[in-house]
Amino acid sequence: MLSMLIKKCISGIAASFIFTSVMALVMMNLHYGFTFYIVVVGIYSVMIMLLIGVPISIGIELILQRIRPRKAIVRALITVALYGVLGLLVSMLIFSDASVNFGQSEHLLYWTFGVGAALVFMIVDIIVKKLI
């Protein structure tokens, strides 16, 4: 269990750096450059990935061990669906206020980033499992 936790933490930190780099490239403008967004987004994404993403990822692993799908494609689809839905749910909880209007483009953009971060975490976790 400890080795799985260490692998998940490595995955969380690596996914956070990848996600932070992409977000900094997307968000940089004339007033704030790449390094500003690396620092600002990095502070929040590392904490969210480690405090929320790692326990959710361990929970997904436990769910997949209980389900035990026979075909690899079914396991892959269930994994992507769980990471995507839980990434959406976490981003909705973090970036929403009490008066959520589902038509606001800002919320949809943040929720998309949440799903993207969860899928980046999933891909990095698969790579870390193969390497370590």
The overall average pLDDT reported for the chain is 91
Q: Which residue has the higher pLDDT, 131 or 99?
A: 131
pLDDT at position 33 over 80 = yes
Residue 57's domain comprises 2-131
pLDDT at residue 101 above 70? no
Q: How many domains does the chain have?
A: 1
- Distance in angstroms (rounded) separating the CA atoms of residues 97 and 126: 33
Q: What is the mean pLDDT of residues 105-116?
A: 84
Q: What's the longest Cα–Cα distance across the chain? A: 53
The predicted model scores a pTM of 0.89
